[in-house]
Amino acid sequence: MSIGKLLGLTVLAKPLTSEEGRRILERDHYRCQYCGFDGMSSFENSLCMTVDFVHPRAKRGRKDPSNLVAACRPCNVIKGYRLFRDFQHAKAFVQQRRQALRQAWEVDAVKAQAPAETVGV
């Protein structure tokens, strides 16, 4: 079974045929074009891959390969329905947002590891 078949459910969730989605994922080597996440490295990773409309479909983005990129689900969710001038601007936004989320997570992770009496000090 090809990875394209394994990804069928993910691709069908979008208004692309599984064949159209598979073509985009193959073109982009199953790698998230926003963060570099490798959708080929494991079955679990393959389940995280989606196809993103750079210009959102909800805002009349075209179902054209030039408007479609492979994206991991977190990056796709972070980008949401926002409009960007082009892919590079969308990528910069997603990377900044991921960095902010990482910093917030690291603060929480430090707190979670601290002895109970120091929490909230």
* Footprint of Zn ion (CB under 5 A): 32, 34-35, 37, 72, 75
Give min distance, CB of 58 to Zn ion, in A.
20
∠ Cα 88 52 14 (to 5°)? 165
Mention every residue, 6+ apart, whose C-beta is less than 8 A from residue 6: 43, 46, 47
Q: Per-residue DSSP letters for 79-104?
A: HTT---SSHHHHHHHHHHHHHHHHHH
Q: Which is nearer to Zn ion, 16 or 32 (CB)?
A: 32
Q: Are 47 and 40 spatial neighbours (Cβ–Cβ below 8 Å)?
A: no
Give min distance, CB of 116 to Zn ion, in A.
35
Give min distance, CB of 85 to Zn ion, in A.
20
Give min distance, CB of 95 to Zn ion, in A.
9
Compute the distance between CA of residue 15 and CA of residue 87 in angstroms, rounded to an integer.
20
